[in-house]
Amino acid sequence: MRPFLCVYGHVNLDHILRVAQLPERNTSVNVLGRKSFFGGTGANLATMASALEVPTALVSYVGRDLPPAFRELMSSHGVILDELVEVEGQETPVVWIVTDEREDQVAYVFQGAMADMASYPLRVQGAKEALAIHLMTGSPDYYLRLLTLPQMLRKRRSLDPAQEIHHVWDAERFNKALEYTDMFFCNRNELATALRYTGKEGPEELLGSFREMQVIINTLGAKGARIYTKNEILDVPAAKVQAIDPTGAGDAFRAGFYAGLYRGMGWLDCGLLGCSAASFAVSSPGSLTNVPGWEQVLERVESLK
């Protein structure tokens, strides 16, 4: 099937450890609970968008050790995995997240097969076929090479580096990438870093400074999202749900958003679908343990209006 959307990002294993208190250096603590989940920005968005019936391809780099059940989870929802590359001699990325009773966290990120992404040849089969490409965590240099390909020019191109905007991207690469993108997704902190890199006062100024930029989608946790377009600012309320684990909420929001774009809806409806989809992710542990279908997401949108 021809994809509408082609997603670039991580496929990784998340190991969540609970401790009473984060340990001091050179000491150890008992682990009170541990859970493992399938995750990663790319896997999350591609799986959830596919579940919302958006034909979606995923480009990502993993190792031979990718659990068959993870691949099966993605393909069972319909993700096109022709460019999920198993890199010889490399391992699948892993993230260990340690959280204590005060909700303080430390994370250890093992990049595995994604570490050398900058040096890999571009994978462009899905991107060439798709109408939209969505660039998440991963190598800025790889993404800049992709964005500047002439074949990508007439597509919808989204930049969404998530937390990597702070420590993997830099001002020079970010400004360059914005010249070639028309949508920028970010949460509160990520927007602040984007403004610092671009030297802009606010999202309105940022939007006006890059010729291709059409929309900035800023998610605001329990406050929902704010969408900045060239002519208006749209506020989108979050769904009222009991938050259990925010992991993957941002990715679920994007899946809902694309489910709207795919069906030709306007920005506000896309945002409402985003908040609806995200509410399923926040009210369950991990990212892919409660993947909603289109009818469920659509039904919950009604309660937001």
Residues that bind ligand ATP (CB under 6 A): 187, 219-222, 224-225, 238-239, 241, 243, 246-251, 253, 275, 278-279, 282
Name the residue nearer to ligand ATP (CB basis): 72 or 235: 235
Q: Which residues 6+ apart lie within 8 Å of 239 measured at CB?
A: 275, 276, 278, 279, 300, 303, 304
* Per CB under 5 A, 9 contacts Mg ion: no
The enclosing H or E element of 96 equals strand 94-99
C-alpha–C-alpha distance, residues 305 and 302, integer Å: 6
Nearest residue by C-beta to ligand ATP?
250
Q: Which does 126 bind (CB under 5 to 8 A by kind): Mg ion, ligand ATP, none?
A: none
Closest approach of ligand ATP to the CB of residue 265, in Å: 17
Span from 19-27, 50-58, 124-132, 244-252 in contact with Mg ion (CB under 5 A): 244-252
Cα–Cα distance measured from residue 151 to residue 99, given in angstroms and rounded to the nearest whole number: 44
> Of 135 and 239, which CB lies nearer to ligand ATP in the complex structure?
239
Q: Which of the listed partners (ligand ATP, Mg ion, none) does 225 bind, with a CB threshold of 5 to 8 Å by partner kind? A: ligand ATP
**Spatial distance between the Cα atoms of 96 and 98, rounded to a whole number of angstroms:** 7
- Of residues 144 through 163, those in contact with Mg ion by CB under 5 A are 162
Q: Which residues contact 202 (CB under 8 A, 6 or more apart)?
A: 195
Single-letter amino acid, residue 86: E
> Any alpha helices (H) in 19-77, and if so which ranges?
41-51, 68-76
Contact 244, 284 (CB under 8 A): yes
Smallest CA-to-CA distance from 138 within 62, 51, 74 is with: 62
Q: Which does 45 bind (CB under 5 to 8 A by kind): Mg ion, ligand ATP, none?
A: none
Tell whether residue 87 is a contact of Mg ion (CB under 5 A).
no
Q: Please give the Cα distance from 19 to 229 (Å, whole number).
A: 43
219 binds, among ligand ATP, Mg ion, none (CB under 5 to 8 A by kind): ligand ATP
DSSP lists the bridge partners of residue 258 as none
Choice between 203 and 248, CB closer to ligand ATP = 248
For residue 275, the partner it binds in Mg ion, ligand ATP, none, with Cβ less than 5 to 8 A by kind, is ligand ATP
Edge-to-edge strand ranges of the sheet holding 94-99: 33-39, 12-18, 94-99, 105-110
Among 42, 224, 248, 250, the residue binding Mg ion under the rule CB under 5 A is: 250
Question: Of residues 102-121, which lie at the interface with Mg ion (CB under 5 A)?
Answer: none
- CB of 31 or CB of 243, closer to ligand ATP: 243
List interacting residues with Mg ion (CB under 5 A).
Answer: 162, 250
